Amino acid sequence: MLAQVELKKEAMKAERPENGTPVGAIPVIQAQDVHKYYDLGETKVHALRGVDLTIQPGEFVAIMGSSGSGKSTFMNMLGCLDKPSSGRYILEGTDVSSLDKKQLAAIRNRKLGFVFQGFNLLSRTTALENVELPTLYAQMEKEKRVARAKEVLELVGLGERLDHFPSQLSGGQQQRVAIARALVNRPAILLADEPTGNLDSRTSVEIMQIFQDLNDSGLTIVLVTHEPDIAQFARRTVVFRDGKIRHDDPLKNRPRAADVLKNLPMIDE
């Protein structure tokens, strides 16, 4: 799989000249004094309480914090699934709060790739068709769409499983299909909310290896996890508590998932 990633890396680089954090680059994400209230009639939940965060192209950020600290609320906003109650969210230079539903859907499809804890694959649909799905909204010929879908499935090491249905794949393989689906429209950012939450330790590190390889090739990644063992593979950790950012630190000497895998026992897939 690594050899394939190496091959594709050059191709992806060429298509992302903006990545690699050149001087003066536009941040991919700028959150400015973001507040979020959930109105429950009698009570109001103040889920985000003044969040400021800037993420540059090519970063790999792990968002951490205990349950209820606001991680998913923040990710939903980053993913344009929800808007801040106040404050600004600027995505690649565009103030998202000014956009309507249709424009938000277009931005989601074009700029963002999503990976979730529960994979969210269509069960009666093959790996290839699942990955092809997001390309249906793009103006692209069928042949090109299939080629793209195959390419990203190869990138995540599933070139031999194109015609398998989700039920014929392990959890780790299903998550790789979901990653391929997230990548097929060549997003600017990959957003992952607890992507290893349903996976065993070895498979989780394998997923982190894919994330590190993708990030090395220039993809910006924002990952939510409550597991320090998973967060350690990122380049930066941001810790939420009570709807605020409490820590924001670069990770020095982070391990390579590929090295960690050498010392983990194999599990039959």
Binding site for Mg ion (CB under 5 A): 71-72
72 near ligand ADP, judged by CB under 6 A: yes
d(C-alpha 266, C-alpha 19), whole Å: 35
Residue 181: partners with Cβ closer than 8 Å, 6 or more residues away: 113, 121, 130, 131, 133, 134, 152
Residue 26 and residue 81 in contact, taking contact as beta carbons nearer than 8 Å? no
43 φ/ψ angles, rounded to the nearest 5 degrees:
-115, 160
Smallest gap from Cβ 190 to ligand ADP, in A, equals: 18
69 near ligand ADP, judged by CB under 6 A: yes
Nearer to ligand ADP, 155 or 239 (CB): 239
Nearer to ligand ADP, 46 or 256 (CB): 46
Please identify which residue in 19, 57, 71, 217 interacts with ligand ADP, judged by CB under 6 A.
Answer: 71
Residue 39 and residue 47 in contact, taking contact as beta carbons nearer than 8 Å? no
34 near ligand ADP, judged by CB under 6 A: no
d(C-alpha 71, C-alpha 95), whole Å: 21
Nearer to ligand ADP, 37 or 165 (CB): 37
- Residue 38 touches which member of Mg ion, ligand ADP, none, C-beta under 5-8 Å by kind: ligand ADP
Rg (CA), the chain: 18
- Residue 65 touches which member of ligand ADP, Mg ion, none, C-beta under 5-8 Å by kind: ligand ADP
Interface contacts to ligand ADP, rule CB under 6 A: 38, 40, 45, 47, 65, 67-73
